[in-house]
Amino acid sequence: MSETVLYEVRGPSAWITLNRPSKLNAINHELRGALADAFARAAADDDVRVVVLGANGSSFSAGYDLAEEAATAFPTADAWRTELAADVDVTMALWHLDKPTICVVRGWCLAGGLETAMAADLLVCTPDARFGEPEIRYGSGPVTLLMPYVLGQRKTRELLLTGDTIDAEEALRIGLVNAVVDPAELDAEVARLVARIAATPLPVLKLTKRALNRAYLCMGLAEAVEANLDLSAMLNAASTPEQEAFDLIVRSEGLRAALAWRDARYGEVLGALGHGAEA
């Protein structure tokens, strides 16, 4: 297992931890691959009944690693689709995991990080958590379009068209998270939730999870994700002047300068390194 993702079995649960805290757990290729391996490992272990996904450091994840993407050439929509398909695959690996999953969020949870969090069955956060999909501010969009199935149309359209972020209390109010928990109590609260779920036999948990997932598949989730992947590839290959200027600033001045330039266009600074990532 790569050091960018940690794996620990605690009784009936596997705890998977993103471990790039100095980069706000931005998802680069190494972390993406390690995360897929961790999900597969948890799925294959019959002693594991619940999977907990969290992160080290001050934030859950600021999204996909923009600096890595800016340094890589994707000359065509087809090249972009290949890259983005790998992002979709790891997110949907969590969604399809046939055991109950809990995501634990502190601090920033943005773009690809939020898509990953939304793929979990339950989401618990601390009061300092902030959520958003700011990709549109760069001329990109969420590559795994799960938000309409989590929040419904109106709030999804507001968040995706503005790129705004919301705090923990708003996330609780609109149903994005299940609970907001004091940081000192977070691990204990998640452990209690694991214990309540894990008391049920694994075959029952798996069949219940399968029934829940099939309900969403009947609503067209798989087709929507696939269609959005095609459109995301076209969107990222559009090479608008703003996209090109952003990439140039990343390469010449660094990611922080590029994010400041981007956010200044919208009259605010989100203040997270690496957010708004599928660009």
DSSP type of residue 111: T
| CB atoms closer than 10 angstroms to residue 38 | 25
Of 68, 69, 115, 278, the active-site residue reads 115
Phi then psi for 5, rounded to 5 degrees?
A: -135, 125
Check if 115 is active-site.
yes
> Mapping DSSP to helix (H, G, I), strand (E, B) and coil, where does residue 20 land?
coil
| CB atoms closer than 10 angstroms to residue 199 | 10
Of 68, 133, 135, 278, the active-site residue reads 135
Per the CB < 8 A criterion, the answer to whether 40 and 250 are in contact is no
Q: Give the up-direction half-sphere exposure of residue 247: CA atoms within 13 A in the CB hemisphere.
A: 19
> Mapping DSSP to helix (H, G, I), strand (E, B) and coil, where does residue 17 land?
strand
The dihedral sign for the CA sequence 37, 102, 130, 240: positive
226: Cβ contacts below 8 Å, ≥ 6 apart: none
> Mapping DSSP to helix (H, G, I), strand (E, B) and coil, where does residue 79 land?
helix
Check if 223 is active-site.
no
Per the CB < 8 A criterion, the answer to whether 5 and 18 are in contact is yes
Look up residue 108 and give its amino acid.
W
Look up residue 55 and give its amino acid.
A
Would you name the residues annotated as active-site residues? Answer: 115, 135
